[in-house]
Amino acid sequence: MLLRNRLLFRNLTSFLPSPSPPPKSVSFILSFNKTIAYSTHKLPKPQVVAIRATKQPILEGARFAKTVLFVPPGVDSEDVTDEMILPGSNIVLGPYASHSQIKEVEFVKSSGRAKDCPKDNRPEFAILGRSNVGKSSLINALVRKKEVALTSKKPGKTQLINHFLVNKSWYIVDLPGYGFAKASDTARTDWSSFTKGYFLNRESLVAVLLLIDASVPPQKIDLDCANWLGRNNIPMTFVFTKCDKMKASKGKRLDENIRDFQELIRENYKQHPPWIMTSSVTGLGRDELLLHLSQLRNYWDQ
């Protein structure tokens, strides 16, 4: 079952350099104002398509010149409508989306090695990103408990693989940040080694949430991380953080930074991974991200 599902998501993360330029722009506006229900049928492979949407008011940060959509299993790309797209994302809501609210969460353990992680085979989502991208803040926002994940003004606080059990059914996994860890070079090498070992050997991993700071231009270290995950066929979702900041640093707006990052990704990916805009300050994207995780989790668990 697990191998079948991992293979199903594989084409979403294939690292395939594309010699051709990106397609011409397709304008779109995101909207979502009701719950969509569908009848299930033979499950197609996840698809990535481009659509043209109607013009409606939306957050400025969600206006992009072009996007490709993440169409989950159970949805025919020809049936996609504007209302099925989660706001601030390229994610289509499908029949596997279900109850997604977090009622309880508990810290289970910290592991220094991948082989020491919990062995109950519950589905899990790993949260990864630069040390100052806001990983702990996002976890706290998702579970709405400030004490769940340790936040700190000093980057590199998380040094172990931390498992949090959600609703007694699935895990959020907080991984060590990369880039600015306050540790020796030897320690950082060890962290990189055991984190990669976790990705390559963790059978219960559904997807990686790769956090990207939307307030700054694309960073090489983030692109390198995304490329490594892609080359190793690790399913991922790009989670753009700090989208509450109306003015991004270094001269560009949030939507421009997000668009630039996606353009760089499209140069290396045949099919674009799902992405979503979030803010741990305002709660932007919280419910939508949980819905996305629910449909991935429920399909994985079939």
What was the pLDDT predicted at 155? 47
Strand partners, 161: 111
Report the predicted TM-score, pTM, of the whole model to 2 decimal places.
0.76
What was the pLDDT predicted at 279? 95
What was the pLDDT predicted at 166? 96
Residue among 214, 288, 266, 276 at smallest CA distance from 20 = 266
The whole-number mean pLDDT for each consecutive block of 10 residues of the chain, a chain of 302 residues, reads 40 36 30 27 40 38 55 91 93 92 92 92 95 89 78 56 94 85 49 82 95 94 90 94 73 86 83 92 95 95 84
Distance CA 75, CA 249 (A): 38
What was the pLDDT predicted at 25? 28
What was the pLDDT predicted at 159? 77
DSSP labels, 166-192:
ETTTEEEEEPPPBSS-SS-HHHHHHHH
